[in-house]
Structure 1
């Protein structure tokens, strides 16, 4: 049988005499059940799983296409129009082919000030303060004076806007209104401001501790829109033969450089979007024990059945298919997968900080922006009051 080394599916020890991995253990189990000897050989041309080019197959699939081996165990997904070149086994599992890329860029530190508030809450608070400004403007109109005289309401000594802002900041007030209705209104506003400030400050502490990221990529269309480079194995390129734009811009990454490209993605040194087997990506992530992360785009390229490829009319087809069916029904294949694959979602949780991060000017940008904005508003308010009188 022809095979290639591909973690976590096939590990070749001592040449090809002691295979392990998902496919390696499965083939040894099949050999024992058939009372046969297992002989695994790497491709005659020294290449990877193989792809179709110039009317012929290369790599491990080329070995069986050209009659050099009876079967190929390479866990390689093929498009449906290429299955006709081989006989395939009973599908004993499936694999997800996905897009993987680096984590999204971090937001600036000052943007963390807005993280505790979602867009709807921001709009509500903005409209609330706009309404206060609007009410303050009404208090200066002639109509309001007539209403005040009709209900015998004394004019406020302070600006309604200024008074509301003082209460919102939690500063003490010197006097309280005598009317119970006004007093209830003020107490309600104080309670509301206290809840908003407390909830915001509690959420802000956690927000400032952790880096904030921009949104993840959700579909491959996001990749095209951002003009990120993309690619992968030649065999995966065939899934886009009907989309010439994607097909023509595909960057071929051979098996020898696959993990090198994956490491560059994990280090965040490239914007490349890699098409690969999801289980192979997860297994590579396990080496770093959660210290490095990437994002996997939810939109899959394909969910492909895992099969053994046979030479056409090979006598190995029927007995090996029976063994695979029995192993699947008996739960042996699932047990082998659980042995080599760690499905823990912690691999994809972002590690926000592995050591203390020194404070820089960037961390205080938001505070200085608010401070300068406050000075500007105060100066503007003072100038308007000086020119137009008390607001």
Structure 2
């Protein structure tokens, strides 16, 4: 029903547009040629390597035809599109149009050339078209509008252009595109220049206005870039000045959650969504450097649901990801890169890989009373016993056959067994076979016994010198193989939730089914009681281990498994889709990474944090290992 009403309203809008154009009369051919010449100069000098899309929001306009001829005369390819026609196509046709609208990926840029006549009806259609094509997702797309002076500010300051870095508006001074009358009146914005009248015969003057995203004390502003006669042209005029090196004090909205050592702020009990006071941490140090370089300020807030971001159904997300998705914040300071999140959030370069690890008590020593059996594994002991018994039987059978053939006294079974054990224990043997075959067999067994006993004695000395311990828990498989063992983690949010719930690994599914939920300090306390493992990211759990369970010499009873489970693509800063400042902030952050400052800052942040924490607890600062 809603789609039908929208289509009907657009149909009525188009009918009104056609009736209004017919009532306005004809265009003057000289003016149409002048407009086409101005557009051609802009394209030839600045947009010759771009994918060009010429959008008409009027009907029956000779100016539009002139613009097409001028561009074709310049030898440039152009895609022509009538805005009103888009809304009467089927959804598959719209999707195909949208794909072609943004052009060939091999071209360096894309430019929209929009023809306006600055009537209310036309402006409504223009803004509807810009919303449909999701211009806000493409901040580097150049927008060039051609129209009268009256609607210039409404177009350049429209919400659909909120992310557009380069937006121009070309107009002829005191001349409308239709009747060349003086209905537009003078401009009242002193920043744009005072309006005036052009006497008959002086000729048309062109004015080029641009949108500056942050020039008005951090807010968007319309600026006059050029004013001159058409005959002088636009040669040498800088229509696209670099405006992304200075944000003029703009206040960016950052959304994040506390995550030491990466993010820290005062937790004063205020409601989620209220500004937080940042404290010393890795991301805050980076952000302060970047803010100083680009001249902007920032506010840090928590997401309303205190979540990192998980799918909420219907294409929506919770937490930090949802806040960025709905443009309630500009960027986040720390967000794990995943394929599903990338559909609604842009990322900067990954600056840290924070793996998931298993924390347990350090392995306990093995019992001393089993030290005599520890030099050999069970399989080796079984082989020695079987070989010794087999040798006794073989010697008994061999001697029995020999005594029968030589008419000697027979050898009994028990002494044969005892002789084989005596040789193994390096004890003297009272009776040795008299035949050659038996002597060779005994000789080989004596040699084997020397090798076995030598290996046993050397291994026994080593085990008595260094006390052996139970094998540590390094992997999830080790965890599942433990009898009577349990494990836990903090509340499964964000990456934890995605890592375990989206995995088809049977080990991860078994871990998920048995996981218990604890706060960080309670979970580590549970580990100290034994028979329990805590699962978390290494960077987050290491400071808490050092703060709570590490002495001044760096000794801790806790053990971190050597297996590091990398969760997705690492940690980066997340940006709302289409943010025009993503590239600049990302490049500056990359310079900090390549300078090697992040590792230095992270170690310093951890040491400072632990020092303050232990001073508050009345304990000495431990020796910190950050390798």
- TM-score range (shorter-chain normalised) is 0.5 to 0.7
* Partner in structure 2 of residue 264 of structure 1: 526
Higher gyration radius (CA): 2
- Whether 1:285 and 2:545 are equivalent positions in the alignment is yes
Aligned residues of 1:267 and 1:292 also touching (Cα < 8 A): no
1:110/1:133 Cα in 2 relative to 1: closer, same or farther (>3 Å)? farther
Shift of 1:284: 3.3
Which residue of 2 is the match for residue 163 of structure 1? 419
Taking the aligned partners of 1:190 and 1:268, their CA distance within structure 2 comes to 43
Instruction: Write the distance in 2 (CA, Å) between the matches of 1:220 and 1:44.
Output: 35
| Aligned match of 2:502 | 241
Which one of 579, 582, 591 corresponds to residue 326 of structure 1? 591
Q: Find the aligned partners of 1:139 and 1:163 in 2 and give their Cα distance.
A: 14
CA contact (8 A) 2:389 2:420 kept: no
- Whose strand fraction is larger, Structure 1's or Structure 2's? 2
Look up the match of 1:24. 284
Query: SS at the partner of 1:159?
Result: helix
CA contact (8 A) 1:86 1:309 kept: yes
The alpha carbon displacement at 1:280 in A equals 2.1
Q: 1:154 to 1:193 in 2, by over 3 A?
A: farther
Q: Distance in 2 between matches of 1:260 and 1:157?
A: 65
Q: CA deviation at 1:329?
A: 2.4
Q: Note if 1:9 corresponds to 2:262.
A: yes
Q: Which has the higher helix share?
A: 1
TM-score by length of 2: 0.44
Q: CA deviation at 1:323?
A: 0.5
Cα gap change, 1:17 to 1:242, in 2 (>3 Å): closer
- 3-state secondary structure, aligned to 1:308: strand
RMSD: 4.5
CA contact (8 A) 1:89 1:309 kept: yes
- Of 557, 575, 587, 1:310 maps to 575
219 and 93 in structure 1: CA distance in 2 versus 1, 3 angstrom threshold = same
> When the two structures are superposed, what TM-score results if normalisation uses the length of structure 1?
0.65
Which structure has more relative contact order (CA 8 Å, sep 6+)? It is 1
1:187 & 1:77 partners in 2: Cα distance?
A: 64
Q: Deviations over 1:225-272 (max 9, x none)?
A: 979566652222223336498398475848xx23432442354253x5
Gaps of 5+ in 2: 1-253, 269-275, 607-623
* 3-state SS, counterpart of residue 69 of structure 1: coil
Q: Which residue number corresponds to residue 601 of structure 2? A: 336
Q: Deviations over 1:143-199 (max 9, x none)?
A: 13146x39x999799923323433444556679999999599397467446514422
Q: 1:193 to 1:179 in 2, by over 3 A?
A: farther
Name 1:223's counterpart in structure 2: 480
Asked whether the equivalents of residues 330 and 576 of structure 2 are also in contact (C-alpha less than 8 Å), the reply is: yes
Aligned ranges 1:335-354 → 2 under 5 Å: 335-337=600-602, 339=604, 340=606, 342-344=625-627
- Alpha-carbon shift at residue 69 of structure 1 (Å): 2.7
Give the direction of change, closer, same or farther, for the CA distance of 1:113–1:318 in structure 2 (3 Å limit): same
| Structure 1 residue 4: Cα displacement | 2.2
**Residues 1:136 and 1:315: Cα distance change in structure 2 (over 3 Å):** same
Q: Distance in 1 between matches of 2:432 and 2:480?
A: 59
Structure 1 residue ranges without an equivalent (≥5)? 345-391
The structure 1 residue matched to 2:332, chosen from 63, 66, 72, is 72
Q: Does 1:116 align with 2:381?
A: no
Instruction: Find out whether 1:135 has 2:394 as its counterpart.
Output: yes
1:364 aligned residue:
none
Match in the other structure for 1:144: 402
- Looking at structure 2, the residues matched to 299 and 106 of structure 1 have their Cα atoms a distance apart, in angstroms, of 25
